Amino acid sequence: MFIRNETSIKEFMRVYPIVSTLVVINLLLWLLINFIGLPIGREFYQWGVGSNYMIAMGDYHRLVTPIFLHGDLMHVLFNSFSLVLFGPALEQMLGKYKFLVAYFGAGIIGNIATYYLGPINYLHLGASGAIFGLFGIYAFMVSFRKNLMDHGSSQIVMTILIISLVMTFMRSGINVYAHLFGFIGGFVIAPLILSNVQPYSPWRNTRRSRRWDDDDSIQFDPNRWNKKRRIPKAIKKNIFWIILGVLVIFGLLGRL
């Protein structure tokens, strides 16, 4: 599910327009605020950064805008890379609108929890809560909709999830509320958006296949990892993606 088969950035953006748009927005806002240094960028940062005090004063847009804002370069790069790694499969399976509901729903739930449970002077920013919401959806699949994920992908997700949750409590400067409640939000939203969802197929919407809605011939084989001739290759892929995912988690936990 997490191995990309697109042959170019252009094809990736065509097949996964929502993930691509979110990544572009994250990077452009970071450049505008931190690199270009225009006054409008600094003003937008002050207007949009998560602030429990300002939310209490009525700035409810701050429950949403921190999802688009990031701190240093590694923060925005790792969050954007995490979205590229874990977002495409869900965008394909859920469709554009359900994916947006899931992503922002989980992120907002994490920010609401931060507001009610965090100190009044707490400041925060980053898309990590929304990304943990994606983990929550995957965790729901592993628990209750096993037909939607192959065994290898389930192992990758659960391994990365366990490591990320442990590291959430081990490192300082982490918005624990956003992580935990973003994950819980994704898990709660999952049964509402997974109805009538087809298993992920890496070839749908690519040039080598027909359109998603017309392609009933491509079926995802959840038992493909159990075939003897595929086991060595699957193990290698699992090890690579688990290591890669761990690196992503360290990036996610570096700063919120």
The residue among 158 and 88 whose pLDDT is bigger is 88
How many contiguous H segments (helices) and E segments (strands) does the chain have? 10, 2
Residue 200's pLDDT is 72
Please determine, for residue 250, whether its predicted confidence score (pLDDT) is greater than 60.
Answer: no
Q: What's the CA gap between 29 and 23, in Å, rounded? A: 10
Give this prediction's pTM. 0.78
Q: Which CA distances in Å does 24 have to 5, 77, 80?
A: 20, 11, 9
Per the annotation, the verdict on 75 as an active-site residue is: no
Residue among 70, 75, 124, 179 flagged as catalytic: 179
**Amino acid identity, position 210:** R
The residue among 120 and 247 whose pLDDT is bigger is 120
Nearby residues of 111 by Cβ (< 8 Å), 6 or more positions away:
50, 62, 63, 64, 66, 67, 124, 129, 178
pLDDT tens-digit series, residues 200-244: 766 565 554 444 444 444 344 445 444 444 444 444 445 555 555
Q: What's the CA gap between 227 and 157, in Å, rounded? A: 21
As given in the structure block, the two tokens for residue 231 are: 């086991």
As given in the structure block, the two tokens for residue 21 are: 């748009």
Please determine, for residue 184, whether its predicted confidence score (pLDDT) is greater than 90.
Answer: yes
**Amino acid identity, position 4:** R
**CATH fold for the domain made of 9-252:** Rhomboid-like fold (1.20.1540)
Dihedral sign for Cα atoms in the order 39, 40, 45, 46: positive
Taking residues 177-187, what's their average pLDDT? 95
Residue among 51, 128, 154, 164 flagged as catalytic: 128
Average pLDDT, whole number, for the chain?
Answer: 80
Q: What's the CA gap between 75 and 72, in Å, rounded? A: 5
Residue 243's pLDDT is 54
Per the annotation, the verdict on 172 as an active-site residue is: no
pLDDT tens-digit series, residues 85-119: 899 999 999 999 999 999 999 999 999 999 999 99
Show me where the domains of the chain are located. 9-252
Taking residues 12-26, what's their average pLDDT? 94
12-21, 42-51, 169-178 — which is least confidently predicted?
A: 169-178
Mind giving me the DSSP string for 118-155?
A: S-TT-EE--SHHHHHHHHHHHHHHHHH-GGGS-HHHHH
